Structure 1
Amino acid sequence: MRLSQKVKLLSAALVPMLALTACSGGGSGGGADGGGGDEKAKITVWSWDGTVEKAVPGFQAANPNITVEVVNAGSSQDEYKALDNAIQAGSGVPDLVMFEYFAVPYFAVPGKLADLGEFGVDKLKQDYVPAAWSDVTINGKVYALPSDYGPSAMFYNAATLKKAGIKEPPATWDEYYEAAKKIHALGDDYYIAQDTGDIFFLLSLIWQAGGRPFKVDGTKVHIDFTDPGTTKAVAFWQKMLDEGLINTKITGWSDDWNRALNDGTLATQTMGGWLTSTLPERAPKASGDFRVALMPQWQQGEKVGAANGGSSFGIPAAAEHKEAAFKFLEYFAHGGGLSSRVDAGAFVPNMSVLENDAFQSKPNTYFGDQKVGAVLAEASEIVGSGWQYPPFFEWARSIYGDLASPFYTTGKGSLAEILEQWRQRCIQYGNEQGFEVS
């Protein structure tokens, strides 16, 4: 279950609504006194994030001339396809659309999204995690506002680590490797992690290691999985797999995955911060055992992170009510409606929230009364800069699993070979779509 499939909540670690109201001002006309002028408008918002609807009553009360209809257009892939079809047909185009960060270039580069610069979004930049703002900035222009975020963090079962004689969560990947051997020594079913070909996890390792395999300049895309950072991350994970230290039989989000998390045989998961919400319902028997830590580092003493998931909202270039759409966008993603979403459980990349004392100091019962908010806030702020996705990554991620599956089921081949196959397929597809890919 990725962020695109179900809204990820952090209800147990969130700041009370009143505590946040003071730190998230109204911004550009979306606050309590932000009128909508005399012209009436009805805007349609496509979103799979259930917290967006929480902001509608407050917005409409402050802007009685604007009616907001929030529509769940299906999964992210269904939504993107429907939007493309509507744009091509010239009718039924919504006014505001939710996008995973990697999908923004797909719509922005061909001119399918409006440049939000005309609405003065530059003044909002300082309130967002830099990496999240970078995700919505294409060729120097901002095409969406960040709405939720998934900083990579390591979720670990402290009880299992203690059973294996590990006093502290691994702070480096070298320590992670040593911990993996100790955990697997507990029994054949015990593993430090599972992996059956999760491209987002592998990319988060590469991202943190300094690899930047995708370089995008307009319609020009260069793909290279041989740079030092990428090579280091891939070689490390290959070693973990080759030595049988990773469970390659359990698929994420499956019943077996739930059982392994519940009984402690799966000791850690390095995923987006949104796992904080779904872990309690998937592993209720492990309540009090799990904790959250930053990703292990490649060098002792470093603090560099990566991201895994997250989404934003943009305005289609063909939208009919752009000004009204931006009013609502600013309201729920930055202005007066932000507090209602956070109170409903959204994990947002707004510094006004992440730096809030109430957010950082609230203990989380499931995680042994750990102050999870402080860990995830730090994880959000240390995400490495300069990461890019190719404009056709929505297609690219869909085929990676097909390429990787034989390796995980037979053990034949290597991750480096899979990535090279993936690169060749991406080059072919990208060029077919009109991009200049090398």
Structure 2
Amino acid sequence: MLKASRRTTGRVVATLLTAGLAAVSLTACGAGGGGTAAPGSASDLDAALEAGGELTYWTWTPSGEAQAEAFMKEYPNVKVTVVNAGTATDEYTKLQNAITAGSGAPDVAQIEYYALQQFALSDGLLDLGGYGFGDLEGDYTASTWGAVNLNGGIYGLPQDSGPMVMIYNKAVFDQFGLTVPTTWDDYIAQAKKLTAADPSKFITNDAGDPGFTQPLIWQAGGQPYTTDGTNVTIDLQDAGSTQFADMWNQLLEPGLLSDIPTWSDDWYKALGNGTISTIITGAWMPGILESSVPEGAGNWRVAPLPSYDGSAATAENGGSAQSVIKQSKNPALAAAFLKWLNNSESSIDVFLGSGGFPSTTAQLEDPAFVGATSEYFGGQDVNKVLVEASQNVVEGWQYLPFQVYANSVFPDTVGQAYANRTDLNAGLQAWQDNLVDYGNAQGFTVNK
């Protein structure tokens, strides 16, 4: 429970809306969490592992099954059933339905950082502070720890992180005499040069994605969302938001961006044939590129994200935590499994083996991890660039307590600017107006 909002959240009903799915209510504090008592102490974790039991774990991460098998081999008294309840918003709808109903939720669930506050506010997640999880802060990067440490409660442990970088096609850059940009001004200049030389090629694609727009506002130092309990301020016209919009307009309005949707079959083809020459993305992308675009082997490289002023500043794109659901009938055992999952070397090794990028400082500081080279990326020590990015994430970013809804209406607001190739500032204002009205209607006090 978010402590600052204990008196007021009884009248808050935030809603998870996803495209094509019905609304799902976020219940008031204590009304849908399952009534589990507060956790006891760190010693309860060892006792729970010794006693054993059964757990259900919802995740979409590729390493989930292998991690659970490794855990059960180490703790044979425990049976973990892994369920892929769908990725991201598909899982969130099912999870919120179960929390609201008071039954049917897993013991442990994967939740992206942007959605975590929304579930914590609904009193669906267990505060793990009583189990001593607060002592683990130094094991994680500051940005990922900040995502699970909400108003003094610890509502999960970070698994991966997504510091943003630029992945570029060196073969295309060499063919057209492009230089690797360090600033967004230079990035725009390279985009103009590329498309002028070959109108069928684009510096990157962007069909309108909140998971792309918000990190670039974050990188600019924008803080469009602030939350104190149920008091929310939304300002998508702040300095960082307008700096992003004014910069990206220079690519959008002249048609210098491909409108191929990210993750589509056409997108993968465009990455393979050189139609799209850079990806602005999180540190988890190199593994996906290697497995999904084999024809690009040897062509791609990883570079720091261009910035507004040439500094090393970056932001996070994506990343998830795992949380104990308050409805769990065995919270100590669930917490013990979670601690092993995201804080033990044996589990993290399995995660890294599937191409994951860690949030744990021990791995990020390990010379063997940092210095590993990749044949796919032309022998480059890719992790070195990714780790440096993780050290340069701009501090102070917050998401909305109804961010899942906010992301779902992005296509209807900012997305229209993308579709019409018009001013993104107007799109951001339309998004803000929608979110202010929505938040106030749900019982939040929203200022702008």
Question: 1:30–1:331: 8 Å Cα contact kept in structure 2?
Answer: no
What SS is found at the alignment partner of 1:375? helix
What SS is found at the alignment partner of 1:313? strand
Which one is further off, 258-267 or 414-423? 258-267
Distance in 1, Cα, partners of 2:416 & 2:52:
56
Give the CA deviation at 1:46.
1.1
Question: 1:48–1:75: 8 Å Cα contact kept in structure 2?
Answer: yes
> Does residue 204 in structure 1 map to residue 215 in structure 2?
yes
Question: 1:109–1:219: 8 Å Cα contact kept in structure 2?
Answer: no
Deviations 1:234-276 (Å, cap 9, x if unpaired)?
Answer: 110012212332223x222223222321222211110112221
Please name the residue that 1:416 is paired with. 425
Please name the residue that 2:438 is paired with. 429
Change (3 A) 1:40 1:316: same
Which among 108, 113, 116 is matched to residue 120 of structure 2? 108
Distance in 2, Cα, partners of 1:357 & 1:245:
40
Amino acid at match of 1:316: I
Question: 1:30–1:59: 8 Å Cα contact kept in structure 2?
Answer: no
Which among 55, 74, 84 is matched to residue 43 of structure 1? 55
Please name the residue that 2:272 is paired with. 262
Which among 284, 292, 307 is matched to residue 302 of structure 2? 292
> Does residue 126 in structure 1 map to residue 138 in structure 2?
yes
Distance in 2, Cα, partners of 1:30 & 1:67:
18
Which among 36, 52, 69 is matched to residue 57 of structure 1? 69
Amino acid at match of 2:434: R
Please name the residue that 1:229 is paired with. 240
> Does residue 70 in structure 1 map to residue 79 in structure 2?
no
Question: 2:157–2:342: 8 Å Cα contact kept in structure 1?
Answer: yes
Please name the residue that 1:241 is paired with. 252
Identity %: 38
Distance in 2, Cα, partners of 1:285 & 1:299:
34
Distance in 2, Cα, partners of 1:47 & 1:217:
30
Which one is further off, 417-426 or 37-46? 37-46
Please name the residue that 2:360 is paired with. 350
Distance in 2, Cα, partners of 1:286 & 1:61:
38
Which one is further off, 256-265 or 329-338? 256-265
What SS is found at the alignment partner of 2:197? coil
What SS is found at the alignment partner of 1:424? helix
Please name the residue that 2:156 is paired with. 144
Amino acid at match of 2:312: K
Which among 99, 110, 116 is matched to residue 111 of structure 2? 99
Which among 153, 156, 165 is matched to residue 177 of structure 2? 165
> Does residue 80 in structure 1 map to residue 92 in structure 2?
yes
Query: What is the CA RMSD across the aligned residues, in angstroms?
Result: 1.9
Please name the residue that 1:3 is paired with. none
Deviations 1:370-405 (Å, cap 9, x if unpaired)?
Answer: 111111111122111111110111111011012234
> Does residue 398 in structure 1 map to residue 408 in structure 2?
yes
Please name the residue that 2:229 is paired with. 218
Give the CA deviation at 1:356.
1.0
TM-score with structure 2 setting the length: 0.86
Distance in 1, Cα, partners of 2:267 & 2:280:
14
Question: 1:36–1:63: 8 Å Cα contact kept in structure 2?
Answer: no
Give the CA deviation at 1:38.
5.0
The number of residues matched between the two structures is: 405
Amino acid at match of 2:84: N
Amino acid at match of 1:103: A
Distance in 2, Cα, partners of 1:125 & 1:312:
14
Deviations 1:295-351 (Å, cap 9, x if unpaired)?
Answer: 112113x11111111111111222211100011101010114222222233222111
Question: 2:105–2:325: 8 Å Cα contact kept in structure 1?
Answer: yes
Please name the residue that 1:327 is paired with. 336
Distance in 2, Cα, partners of 1:293 & 1:277:
15
Question: 1:30–1:330: 8 Å Cα contact kept in structure 2?
Answer: no
Change (3 A) 1:37 1:356: closer
Structure with bigger RCO (C-alpha 8 Å, 6+ apart)? 1
Unmatched 5+ residue regions in structure 1?
1-27
TM-score with structure 1 setting the length: 0.88
Give the CA deviation at 1:164.
2.1
Question: 1:127–1:351: 8 Å Cα contact kept in structure 2?
Answer: yes
Distance in 2, Cα, partners of 1:319 & 1:436:
32
Question: 1:36–1:66: 8 Å Cα contact kept in structure 2?
Answer: no
Amino acid at match of 2:419: T
Which among 383, 394, 406 is matched to residue 393 of structure 2? 383
What SS is found at the alignment partner of 1:308? coil
Please name the residue that 1:15 is paired with. none
